[in-house]
Structure 1
Amino acid sequence: MPVPEVQTTLPSNKDWIAWPRIAAISAMVAFSLPTFITGLEVSQSLSVQSALIAMLVGCVILTLIGGAMGTVGVQTRMSSYQLVRIAFGDKGAAAINLAFALSLLGWFGVNIDLFSGAVVELFKQYQVESISGFAIELIAGALMTLTTIIGFSAINRIASWMVPVIALVTLFMLYNALQMLPFSEFLQTGNNEDIAMSQGVSAIVGAIIIGAIILPDITRFSRQARGAWHTAFWSYLVVQLLVMVVAAWSGAATGNTDILQLMLAIGLGVMAFAIVICGSWVLNSLNLYSTCLSIGATWPKAQNHLFTGLLGLVGIVAASFDILDYFIGFLVILSAIFVPVAGVILIDYFLLYKPFYCAKTLNQSIPFSWAAAIAWFAGASLAVADMFYAIPTLTGINVLDAILLCGLVYWGCGKMFFNSNPPPG
């Protein structure tokens, strides 16, 4: 039975844009509050030297995963959810894409919650009468949802306008931190090693691993073949690394562990609104955009403006629940669950079934892939088990071990099932 046309539509050359505009969207994700919070949290849990190493390693991992996944998007012009459908089959993709959608809606709620709390606190600092937190969440969520309904072009324009502003604010934050605490003294700042460095890396990767895996959603519009690697490099190895270092440095300089109080103490003042508003707006619009793609790839009838609005409403309701207490744990769990998905797609595309990643395959009923399911389960199980038990590791970083195990299992299973089951499509 043919798949409805909405699943098979790929961007044409008239939809392609230059990679810097795509990189601007991805960079705005790195400029958001969760990235600042992650850098601050990791720096508080490790010594400065260990935290900086963890940040660098985490950003390198994200660059490699994002660059590779984004390249698949550029070459196939498919969204990440269409790629999941080919690698995992129709039934497997339904489960994976639903998990993606739930996680992205969770992020939507987290960021609206962060946004409203920050706005209320900023109003208090300047003794301005503020409306209730829920009202702020409702207004902000509605604007973010409206941006998503308008489409990718609206997200692209907003990101292009906001990146220079928020970049200057971040550099001003770095300058003030340097004035308060010279670099040599910053390196000597002592913190207890409350977590292992590998856990720090996992938290950093988890902070944006979904963004790296779903990078094809935006790189599929890249006019340049190398646009994915440029986007990943500037987003993760430059902007995200800079943001986390600035957060860690500012925290050490001010002694604050609350990100908003830190911004005010470092001298941002009303400029803190730029980070709060700009980063949250683009990040959440992109989260909702990708959520709609994930659901539309499996249930195409749900891909419409009304359903987008309903998803936005669900995200706003999610923001009313207190989920920030589980922030770091949420990031680590995301690493465990979603990294193997990237491993399956990359092995499937680059080593096994590259010719089948085309619109013709999407037009067919794609059988469930036991090889992909087994490999994903093996990688996710290893990563989750490592969170609770001391398991000997090959690299010392559980997410890397999960990728390697997943790739090895999938390669073996792919060869094992190759003769009995034809390639997808």
Structure 2
Amino acid sequence: MNSKTEVNDEASKLNDDFSLSRVPDSKRDPMWKILLIRIGNLTCVSQFMLGAELGYGLTFSQAFWATMIGSVVLQFISYGLGVAGQREGLSTSLLSKWAGFGIYGSALVGLAFAISLTGWFGIQNSVFAQGIVSILGNHANLAVTSAITGIAVTLVVLFGFKSMSWTANIAVPGFLLIMGIGSYNMLQSHSLVKLVTMAPPSNSLTFSAAVTMVTGGFIVGCIITPDITRFAKSSHDVFWATLIGTMLGELGVNLLAVLMAHAIGTSEIMPIIYKLTGIFGILIVVFSTLKVNDINLYSSSLGFVNFLKQVFNINVNRAVMTVIIGVLGTILSLMGIMQQFESFLSFLGIIFPPIAGIMFVDYFLLKRSRHLLDESRRLGKLPESAEKLNPVTLIAWIIGSAAGFYIKVGIQSITSIIVAAVIYYIGIKIFYKEKK
């Protein structure tokens, strides 16, 4: 057995999931496993809640086009970064080190994702626990239930990518089954033509705000696509996994939720599910929350591991970090994170998109570190060198984020991506010589 194989086996044995190294070809998975995790990312409670909000405030036609435009943007970002992750076998936070951000910049990216996703873990854990309490007829204690569900999700992610795939094998078909049952029951008592043509229960949304909601609702998931596609075998697998996942998750779940919101006349998810599918439906929907929350915890652990390595040169096993973050996220849910953290997550929703624009421009257009990545990939290693910090990156990130906040015309998340990408491209061309 050669040294490279021993290193790979050791990383796998410790459930570290190659958090600080490339995923070797021997550890790649078939497309359907990547697809199930991707679908599981989108076929979840938060996606259904988004669709219900769209249906409560828009006509079906408006909701369709808002979802379509948002889905195209999400697919473009997911596929571009997903291919880079698959080719290099690297997570987003690690890939960013050689895609414009440098050593300390990539550490900031990892930290930003980790903080955000830890917060999302707390929020989703609260939804998970509340769903279980509602199933038990409010006889269970919410705080105790939140602690139990937080520990359960942590244990799933502790065993890494393989166990996440196992939960997806159950959660995804179950959620799709409930959506099918709910749709059947809905059409038994409501005309499809009427649901499609009726006025929305409320006129609380504008079209541009709806597109922003669709795009912003999964923008973080798009940027961390490499965390999952680094296990894919080919770029074709990435294309089909992201395309089918986006179509089923965004168009499929969103539009069914729109119709259900029209039928029931509310944007509240639990009343919709209960009236159309009963307690069994609530149970499956709650379990699907587990699916999206294990992704939150998994990517958060990768981000923190990368941050500690780059800034403090401390090697922390991903499984150990998973336990730490799982405990922190569970504590946040017990402290009422759902109420206090949502505004901060909205703030990060505009901070994150510029990262995608900068990475895409650097990796695919400027290719400043591609020669280092290509040479090291042939050896199954990481590049031995990387720039410490790229000032142009920070400037583009700040200006792109500011544009997203202050330019109200159009879609804020798209604005921040475009502005950051343009500023970065021009800045590199002016201040750096392009590396061939």
TM-score of the aligned structures, taking structure 2 as reference length:
0.87
321 and 199 in structure 1: CA distance in 2 versus 1, 3 angstrom threshold: farther
Q: Is the 8 A contact 1:98 1:294 kept in 2?
A: yes
2:347 aligns to what?
333
1:12-411 mapped onto 2 (5 Å cutoff)? 12-86=24-98, 87-124=100-137, 130-191=139-200, 192-277=202-287, 279-300=288-309, 301-325=315-339, 332-353=346-367, 354-357=370-373, 359=376, 362-386=383-407, 391=408, 393=409, 396-411=410-425
Shift, 1:269, TM fit = 2.9
Distance across 2 between alignment mates of 1:44 and 1:263: 15
Q: Is the 8 A contact 1:203 1:332 kept in 2?
A: no
Q: Is the 8 A contact 2:305 2:321 kept in 1?
A: no
Query: Could you list the per-position Cα deviations for residues 370-402 of structure 1 after superposition, in whole angstroms to 9, with x for gaps in the alignment?
Result: 12111111211111113xxxx4x4xx2222222
Identity %: 25
Query: Could you list the per-position Cα deviations for residues 274-296 of structure 1 after superposition, in whole angstroms to 9, with x for gaps in the alignment?
Result: 1111x122211111111111111
Distance across 1 between alignment mates of 2:237 and 2:343: 33
Q: Letter of the aligned partner of 2:117 in structure 1?
A: L
Query: Could you list the per-position Cα deviations for residues 122-142 of structure 1 after superposition, in whole angstroms to 9, with x for gaps in the alignment?
Result: 221xxxx73211111111111
Q: Letter of the aligned partner of 1:168 in structure 2?
A: L
Distance across 1 between alignment mates of 2:34 and 2:276: 31
Instruction: Point out the more displaced range, 325-334 or 260-269.
Output: 325-334
Task: Specify the SS of the correspondent of 1:226.
Answer: helix
Q: Is the 8 A contact 1:49 1:187 kept in 2?
A: yes
423 and 95 in structure 1: CA distance in 2 versus 1, 3 angstrom threshold: farther
Q: Letter of the aligned partner of 1:312 in structure 2?
A: G
Shift, 1:183, TM fit = 2.2
280 and 134 in structure 1: CA distance in 2 versus 1, 3 angstrom threshold: same
Shift, 1:369, TM fit = 0.9
Instruction: Point out the more displaced range, 88-97 or 142-151.
Output: 88-97
Instruction: Point out the more displaced range, 261-270 or 137-146.
Output: 261-270
Q: Is the 8 A contact 1:149 1:308 kept in 2?
A: yes
Task: Specify the SS of the correspondent of 1:17.
Answer: coil
Q: Is the 8 A contact 1:63 1:237 kept in 2?
A: no
Shift, 1:187, TM fit = 2.2
Q: Is the 8 A contact 2:302 2:318 kept in 1?
A: no
Distance across 2 between alignment mates of 1:325 and 1:248: 25
TM-score of the aligned structures, taking structure 1 as reference length:
0.89
Q: Letter of the aligned partner of 1:305 in structure 2?
A: A
202 and 329 in structure 1: CA distance in 2 versus 1, 3 angstrom threshold: farther
Q: Is the 8 A contact 1:94 1:298 kept in 2?
A: yes
Shift, 1:42, TM fit = 2.4
Distance across 1 between alignment mates of 2:52 and 2:182: 14
Task: Specify the SS of the correspondent of 1:357.
Answer: helix
Shift, 1:327, TM fit = 8.3
29 and 51 in structure 1: CA distance in 2 versus 1, 3 angstrom threshold: same
Task: Specify the SS of the correspondent of 1:315.
Answer: helix
Distance across 2 between alignment mates of 1:329 and 1:48: 28
Instruction: Point out the more displaced range, 157-166 or 311-320.
Output: 157-166
364 and 95 in structure 1: CA distance in 2 versus 1, 3 angstrom threshold: same
RMSD of Structure 2 on Structure 1 (CA): 2.2
Gaps of 5+ in 1: none
7 and 106 in structure 1: CA distance in 2 versus 1, 3 angstrom threshold: closer
243 and 366 in structure 1: CA distance in 2 versus 1, 3 angstrom threshold: same
Query: Could you list the per-position Cα deviations for residues 122-166 of structure 1 after superposition, in whole angstroms to 9, with x for gaps in the alignment?
Result: 221xxxx73211111111111111111111111112212332222
Distance across 2 between alignment mates of 1:276 and 1:22: 22
Q: Is the 8 A contact 2:150 2:326 kept in 1?
A: yes
Shift, 1:361, TM fit = 5.9
Q: Letter of the aligned partner of 2:317 in structure 1?
A: Q
168 and 298 in structure 1: CA distance in 2 versus 1, 3 angstrom threshold: same
Shift, 1:52, TM fit = 2.0
219 and 55 in structure 1: CA distance in 2 versus 1, 3 angstrom threshold: same
Q: Is the 8 A contact 1:173 1:246 kept in 2?
A: no
Distance across 2 between alignment mates of 1:194 and 1:16: 46
2:8 aligns to what?
none
Distance across 1 between alignment mates of 2:106 and 2:179: 39
Distance across 2 between alignment mates of 1:250 and 1:195: 17
